[in-house]
Amino acid sequence: MPLLERFRDREIVNRIVKGIKEHAPKKKVKFCHVCGTHEITISKNGLRDILPDNIEIFAGPGCPVCITPVKEIEEAIWLAENGITLTSFGDMVRVPGINKSLLEIKSEGGDVRIVYSVRDAVRLAEKRPDLEVVFFAIGFETTVPTTALAILNEAPNNFSLLSSHRLIPPAMELMLYLQSMGIDVQIDGFIAPGHVATIIGLRPYNRFPEIYGIPTVIAGFEPVDVIFAIFMLLKQMNQKRPGVDNEYCRVVKPDGNPRALKVMNEVYKVTDGDWRGIGRIPGSALGIREKYVRYDAREKYDISIKVEESKALPPNCICHFIIVGAAYPPECPLYMKSCNPAHPVGPCMVSREGTCNIWSKYRNKKGLSKETKNKILL
Which residues form the interface with ligand SF4 (CB under 6 A)?
Answer: 317-319, 322, 329, 332, 334-335, 339, 345-346, 348-349, 356
Residue 47 has what DSSP assignment?
H
E-state strands within 260-318 = 268-275, 279-288
Nearer to ligand SF4, 43 or 87 (CB): 43
Whether the Cβ atoms of residue 105 and residue 112 lie closer than 8 Å to each other: yes
Q: How far is the CB of 307 from ligand SF4 (least distance, A)?
A: 18
Residue nearest to ligand SF4 (CB): 346
CA 70 vs CA 22, 54, 62, 213, 277: distances in Å: 46, 37, 17, 34, 9
At closest approach, how far in Å is the CB of 325 from ligand SF4? 13
Q: Can you tell me the distance from the alpha carbon of 233 to that of 246, in angstroms, rounded to the nearest whole number?
A: 11
Amino acid type, 147: T
Q: From the centroid of its chain, how far is CA 337?
A: 25
3-state secondary structure of 116: coil
- Rounded CA separation 167/169 (Å): 6
Of 180 and 338, nearer to ligand SF4 (C-beta) is 338
Min separation Cβ 88 and ligand SF4, Å: 19
Which C-beta is closer to ligand SF4: that of 231 or that of 321?
321
Output the smallest distance, CB 281 to ligand SF4, in A: 20
Q: Residue 201 or 330: which CB sits closer to ligand SF4?
A: 330
Amino acid in position 295: Y
Q: How far apart are CA 151 and CA 250, in angstroms?
A: 31
Pick from 375, 364, 376, 377: nearest CA to 59: 364
CB of 342 to ligand SF4, least distance (A): 12
Rounded to a whole number of angstroms, the minimum distance from the CB of residue 314 to ligand SF4 is 6
Please state the φ and ψ torsions of residue 30, each to the nearest 5 degrees.
-125, 125
108: amino acid identity, one letter: E
177 close to 152: Cβ distance less than 8 angstroms? no
Beta strands (DSSP E) in 77-207 are 85-88, 112-114, 133-139, 159-165, 189-193
Nearer residue to ligand SF4 within complex by CB, 220 or 347 = 347
In the complex, the smallest distance separating the C-beta of residue 348 from ligand SF4, rounded to whole angstroms, is 4
Q: From CA 193, how far away is CA 36, in angstroms rounded?
A: 9
Q: Which of 302, 351, 297 is nearest to 329 (CA)?
A: 351
CB of 323 to ligand SF4, least distance (A): 9
249 vs 378, which CB is nearer to ligand SF4?
A: 378
Task: Compute the least distance from the CB of residue 94 to ligand SF4, in Å.
Answer: 12
- Least distance between ligand SF4 and beta carbon 172 (Å): 21
- Close Cβ partners of 239 (under 8 Å, ≥ 6 residues apart): none
Nearer to ligand SF4, 183 or 251 (CB): 183
- In angstroms, what is the C-alpha Rg of the chain? 21
Instruction: Tell me which DSSP letter residue 323 carries.
Output: H
Buried b (16+ CB within 10 A) or exposed e, 65-85: bbbbbbbbbbbbbbbbeeebb
Helix or strand or coil: residue 285? strand
Q: Which is nearer to ligand SF4, 205 or 328 (CB)?
A: 328
Identity of the residue, 69 or 145, whose beta carbon is nearer to ligand SF4 in the bound complex = 69
**In this complex, which beta carbon is closest to ligand SF4, that of residue 287 or of residue 314?**
314
